[in-house]
A = this chain, B = another copy of it.
Amino acid sequence: MTDIRFDVLTIGNAIVDVIARVDDSFITQERLVKGSMNLIDEARAEQLYSVMGPAREISGGSAGNTAAGVASFGGKAAYFGKVKKDQLGDIYRHDMRAQGVQFESVAASDGPATARSFILVTPDSERTMNTYLGACVNLTTADIDVDTVRASRVTYMEGYLYDRPEAKDAFRRASDIARAANRLTSVTLSDSFCVERHRDDFMHLIRSRIDIVFANETEIKSLYQTQNFNGAMEAIRRDCAVAVLTRSEKGSVIVRGDETVEVPAHPVSRVIDVTGAGDLYAAGFLFGFTREMPLRRCAELGGLAAAEVISHVGARPEISLKDHAAAHKLL
């Protein structure tokens, strides 16, 4: 039996965010759907970058943001993700480790460059993501370090990994190891279009090998192909031990067996950029959950972290979430 060394291990696409403010007309001109996440190839990445305004670079990636959030709460976090050995890869690794996250995945020495996501933030604070996966295509089962999975209370994975067969295999391998070691597994559905692409796989995954599912309202509705939130909630209640459903400004609902816990959203004085809201909610929830806090408190920690990250540009916390939670008497 491996000793516990990590509260949360997260696995995902290691992506540097390239963030620019744009007008709504830019979204229209580039034929984008506001709020969506689009996978783009290298040619489109170059074209889009050439017409985008000045940007800033901040490490991101859904599961990477979650690991950073867990560490910011004072939890022990580890991360698996693939960068190339290049400047953006070095920046990504630095930002992870500087946040206190263990990140030992070997950088690719050749092949495509470190992934980047061109994140266009409109005046309404909505973000439209355009992700060039680059080096992430090299994430395979070889990157799943058995010992780290066994040493983690929960292994959390992003649904985006299902967009590539090798990453999907890595995902399945990690969940096999976690379950064999009697650890928890968790997944976020990531994006409603991601759910559309992999609905049957996700359904099978959740029913067979996942303990905690994170989904927002559109994702869970898409999973069960219904417009009725309560219907989807009752369906996921039957399919999974714990389901954590986030509803933006309407807060979140947790279902576990017969239990239903509804928690209002944490107040935000001014929303600047919604990128990372779900990732940080998951960080707060999992931090509380792995410390065996009541579900309500887990949800409150999630809401607190989500509120912090949407109050500034970038999907990683800018303050110590541990101190922030203490100031709000949640820790």
Contacts and interface: CB of A to CB of B under 8 A. Distances in A.
B86 A54 contact: no
Interface string A41-67: 000000001101111111100000000
| Copies of this chain assembled into the complex | 2
Interface residues of A, number: 26
A131 to B, nearest CB: 17
A94 interface: yes
B56 A94 contact: no
A203 interface: no
- The winner among A21, A68, A88, A91 for most chain B CB atoms within 10 A is A91
A57 B57 contact: yes
A52 B97 CA distance: 10
A87 interface: yes
B98 A52 contact: yes
Given A52-B94, A54-B94, A55-B91, 16 more contacts: A20-B98, A21-B318, A53-B98, A54-B95, A54-B96, A54-B98, A54-B99, A55-B94, A56-B56, A56-B58, A56-B314, A57-B57, A57-B91, A86-B87, A87-B87, A87-B113
10 contacts: A52-B94, A52-B98, A54-B59, A54-B94, A54-B95, A54-B96, A56-B57, A56-B314, A57-B57, A57-B58
